[in-house]
Structure 1
Amino acid sequence: MNIYLVRHGETDNNYNKTYYGKTDCSLNNNGRYQASIIKNRIEKINFDKVFTSKMKRAKETAHIILDDSKYELIEDERLNEMNMGIFEGKDHKELEENYSVEWKNWCNNWKEYKIPNGESYIEFYERVKDFFEEILRGKEKDILVVAHGGVIKSIYSYILGENLDIFWKISSRNGDIALIKYEYGNIYIDSIIPVEI
């Protein structure tokens, strides 16, 4: 089984380096350009299934990179980015200044601390894990998943022995394409191709 993980193209929130997950924003011009590059790189692959989150930025990326007449997008809310609650739309400096208690609590226990009006990383990880394990039980040869940086990094953490601390030691940039292979009961990260080198 080949699982292709694509992080959506850039949004203004990415460009401005703010924390966001449930904020449902569209791609910016650069994000649409990145999606066009992805399209050229994967156009020869015939996917058996295509999954996206329910967020605009992921669906918009999928529509650009795929032939809409050929594929049905399966939207799955388990692929939505982590809900950042009161941190949504704010940058690092603003959180330290205006949400110092919550920021400190999150920094001290980022896995278990539930951001007010949001979710904890553990809650987020468990729903991503649930989706991914369901995919692994399937019989498809080639699957495309268009999702978010946090989702993809969580899948990496799962593959690398469910070591959640790995989350902060790896990157998933806008437009990256990762190929995950699952064969003979072994799952591994085969390659990660950046959209722009």
Structure 2
Amino acid sequence: MEIVLVRHAEPEWAKDGLAIDNPPLTDRGREQARRLADRLSHEAFDQVFVSPMVRAQQTAEPILEVLGVDAPTEPWLEELRMPDWTGTPSAEVDELFRQAPYRPIEEHWAGITGGESFKDFHVRVTEGVEATLAPLGVTPYRDEGPLWEIDDESRRALFVAHAGTNATIIGHLLGIDPVPWEWERFVMFHASFSVLRPHPIGGGWTFSLFRLGDTEHLPDGMRTR
């Protein structure tokens, strides 16, 4: 079971100086998504899953079109939920994020006040990915470390989601202890994709991070984070 994780293209986080809570893509983001779709147009997937957020749905549209498939929307793929800042001056939100890395560690686990805690986010994503992969023949292998039972290693699944969601999936499937800044240790630019491939170990399977944040389909001027 090969797993491909797409991060959404560039969103319009602010307009007229005000923050947008669930933003659409920018014009550049739509072009990023189109180029990513072209990159994936010759691929084949047994299943595709998409986050409910507008930026992920709009990124998925050209991909699903070139693949000629439909995809279920999976609520568990949503990014770490922030407070609703719609209408808040974007400069205030930007300043909050500039200060966020310097908070005490326990505050990182608790998340942003008014939003989802990272602990809850981690449970939501890890339980979601396990429940989604189980019908595809991927389940935990006994209790012997971060190994998996995989019925058919040739199958492929595509997820269109977010930096934090995808980073949490990667860490979980690799068996790495979580931290509340997953998106900083697994960096993925907009409209990039990452690939996890199975490798047989000790009677089970381990996932290998074969590719992280691939943006070869984007020229330098279109690579945004």
Q: Same fold (TM over 0.5)?
A: yes
Cα separation, partners in 2 of 1:41 and 1:85, compared to 1, 3 Å: same
- Partner Cα distance (2:119, 2:103) in 1: 12
Farther-moved stretch of structure 1 (74-83 vs 130-139): 130-139
Farther-moved stretch of structure 1 (147-156 vs 109-118): 109-118
Percentage of identical aligned residues? 24
What are the Cα deviations for residues 97-137 of structure 1, in whole angstroms up to 9, with x where unaligned? Answer: xxx8xx59954324431433311011111111112222442
Aligned length: 188
Bigger radius of gyration among the two = 2
The one-letter code sitting in structure 2 at the alignment partner of 1:161 is: G
SS of the residue 2:195 aligns to: strand
Asked if 1:150 corresponds to 2:164, the answer is yes
Residue in structure 2 matched with residue 28 of structure 1 by the alignment:
26
- Partner Cα distance (2:168, 2:19) in 1: 17
What are the Cα deviations for residues 54-74 of structure 1, in whole angstroms up to 9, with x where unaligned? Answer: 111111111112227831211
CA RMSD of aligned residues (A): 3.0
Farther-moved stretch of structure 1 (83-92 vs 109-118): 83-92
Cα separation, partners in 2 of 1:94 and 1:69, compared to 1, 3 Å: closer
Residue in structure 2 matched with residue 84 of structure 1 by the alignment:
82
Residue in structure 2 matched with residue 190 of structure 1 by the alignment:
210
Extract structure 1 runs of 4+ deviating beyond 3 A.
86-92, 103-108
Within 5 A, what are the aligned runs for 1:47-196?
47-67=45-65, 70-85=68-83, 90-94=92-96, 107-137=104-134, 138-139=136-137, 141-165=155-179, 167=182, 168-184=184-200, 185-192=205-212, 193-194=214-215, 195-196=217-218
Structure 2 length-normalised TM: 0.72
SS of the residue 2:13 aligns to: helix
Cα offset, 1:75, TM superposition: 0.5
Cα separation, partners in 2 of 1:34 and 1:162, compared to 1, 3 Å: same
SS of the residue 1:164 aligns to: coil
- Partner Cα distance (1:154, 1:118) in 2: 18
Cα offset, 1:33, TM superposition: 0.7
- Partner Cα distance (2:123, 2:75) in 1: 13
- Partner Cα distance (1:6, 1:19) in 2: 24
